[in-house]
Amino acid sequence: MTNTIKRRTAYRMKVTAIIDDNLVNNVKVFTQSSTITEAITIALKDWLDIYKIKELNKNISKNPIFIENGHRIREMNRSI
């Protein structure tokens, strides 16, 4: 199923899944969504964001940046 929007194509997937009703209802409540599709979409995006943050934290912990004074961090920020 595709929707065309101003020269861009948005791809969507229709999925059949067996998910516990309590879990779906909790997700709907916590995401403040009125539909199951919206609730699951928000929950999956949030999960991906958290996963990416965890991966970034792992990478930073392997190679941390030690800042002894503010000059170095200011220079790093200005170079971006």
Mean pLDDT of 39-46: 96
- Of the CA atoms within 13 Å of residue 45, those in its CB half-sphere come to 7
pLDDT of 62: 92
Where is pLDDT greater, at 32 or 8?
Answer: 32
| Bridge partners (DSSP) listed for residue 10 | 3
pLDDT of 69: 80
Calpha distance 80→75 (Å, rounded): 9
pLDDT of 4: 54
